Amino acid sequence: MTADRPTVCPTCQGVIVSPQSDSYTPARGRLIVTNGYCPGTCEAAVREEVSVEVAAGS
What pLDDT shows up at residue 19?
Answer: 86
Query: Given this model, what pLDDT does residue 26 score?
Result: 92
Q: Could you say which residues of the chain have pLDDT below 50?
A: 1-3, 52
- The pLDDT score that the predictor gives to residue 54 is 53
Burial string for 5-27 (b: 16+ CB within 10 Å, else e) reads eeeebeebebbbeeeeeeeeeee
Say what the pLDDT of residue 1 is.
44
Quick one: pLDDT at residue 2?
45
- Count other C-beta atoms under 10 Å from residue 49's C-beta: 14
